[in-house]
Amino acid sequence: MSEIAFTKIEDGRFCGILAVKIVSFPSFKILGKDSNDISEVFFNSFNSILKQIHTFCNDETISAEILWTTKPTTNQINLSDIEIYIIFRKIDFEKQTISWQLNQAYEIFKNTLISLKFEWEIFEDISSLYGSLAARSIFLILKKEEIVNFSNAMLGFFYNYDKIEKDASNFSMLIDTLSKCRNCSVSFQIIPTEYNEIERMYIANMHSQLRQYSDGFYHATLGHVKETRADNICSNYENTYRNFESKNFLFNICVFGSSSEVFNVLTVLNTQFSKSEKQTRLFSAPLDFNLDLKKNFYSYPFIFSEISLDFSRLGLLQTEEFTYLKRLKLIASSQEIASFFRLPFGDENVTYGIEINKIEKKI
């Protein structure tokens, strides 16, 4: 079993951490496929990983993170090299339970890393990662949310949120941008979860009502009523309704760095998610609070998740009526999550910034 680092958090539980550093990334040449085919293989492989992790722990006490950090270079075409870590965390009162589940998560990733021809190593110098998160600006990226007013005021208004559309493309734009940053990090964090019974009931009711508005119905006063603006909202709720039994996750996307670097990375991420025919709309939220990242590094995915839950631009969400909708901007299925929770590979557009392995080696 791999060595686990522990710390005790405020409620008396232990938080364990296990980190893996990716040493080299496979070139498409040694994978024996063209870039588009490899992108699909990577997407499906990480979607499978997510489902497996969710199967053995979905009580919001385990997290996985893919952390991209920059390391300044000298005499290179790029200002920085990019280092990528996979970090697993688990909270529990029993260290033995933490160790077992973190090693289970690691084994799931390990098998995929072998099949996709990555090289990696267990990374034990956890404290060295604190510096990579030193930042003057921290932004969270959430699904965009909005209140939609229908054309007929008698139908009221509805809360709407975006779905993350599938994107299996390689991370060439993100790699290019980060390789031009001196001190910037991007953290993709996931926490397995499930919809609770009250959320399911509320979402099902919303879906049913929106379907009625979308299809049209007879009203005693208004006559035949059909609300075309309900179509898109109904589609989102229908997708959520279908995903009740899927493997679902809370997610955080955090960007750390100087103001200018963070802006450039946010632009790239928004562009990447907007490639699909039906664009994913994201919302970037600056965090204005004092969080000691060094002190809270072990548990910060859980902390960011709590912060994100209470963050909303929509004052209406502070009312009791919308209590059971607050998590919808933070929950996504494994298929949605796999659009960003993946590793890159070397191809025609990714030739520097990461260590690319062009000759297959035995692991």
**Mean pLDDT, rounded, of the chain:** 86
Q: Which amino acid is at 91?
A: I
- Assess whether pLDDT exceeds 50 at residue 363: no
**Nearest in space to 235 (alpha carbons), one of 301, 158, 307:** 158
Specify whether the backbone of 257 is left (phi greater than 0), alpha (psi in -120 to 50) or beta.
left
Predicted pLDDT of residue 138: 85
Predicted pLDDT of residue 361: 47
**Most confidently modeled of 151-155, 172-176, 230-234?**
172-176
Count the neighbouring beta carbons within 10 Å of the beta carbon of residue 198: 10
Higher-pLDDT residue of 113 and 279 is 113
- Assess whether pLDDT exceeds 50 at residue 230: yes
Sign of CA dihedral 243, 249, 250, 252: negative
Spatial separation of the C-alpha atoms in residues 241 and 31, rounded to whole Å: 38
Q: What is the pLDDT of residues 69-80, one digit of tens each?
A: 999 888 788 889
Q: Which amino acid is at 165?
A: E
Predicted pLDDT of residue 360: 53
**Most confidently modeled of 8-22, 131-145, 198-212, 298-312?**
8-22
Q: What is the pLDDT of residues 178-195, one digit of tens each?
A: 999 988 999 999 999 999
> Taking the C-alpha atoms of 37, 40, 41 and 43 in order, what is their torsion angle to the nearest 10 degrees?
160
Q: What is the pLDDT of residues 256-295, one digit of tens each?
A: 988 899 999 999 988 877 665 566 667 777 776 567 777 8
Count Cβ atoms within 10 A of the Cβ of residue 307 and give its class: 0-12 exposed, 13-18 middle, 19 or more buried: middle
Q: Which two tokens stand for residue 284?
A: 């970037």
- The half-sphere exposure of 9 on its side-chain side, counting CA atoms within 13 A, is 21
pLDDT interval class at 342 (50, 70, 90): very high
pLDDT interval class at 93 (50, 70, 90): very high
Spatial separation of the C-alpha atoms in residues 317 and 324, rounded to whole Å: 9
Query: Any residues with CB less than 8 A from the CB of 127 and at least 6 apart, and which?
Result: none
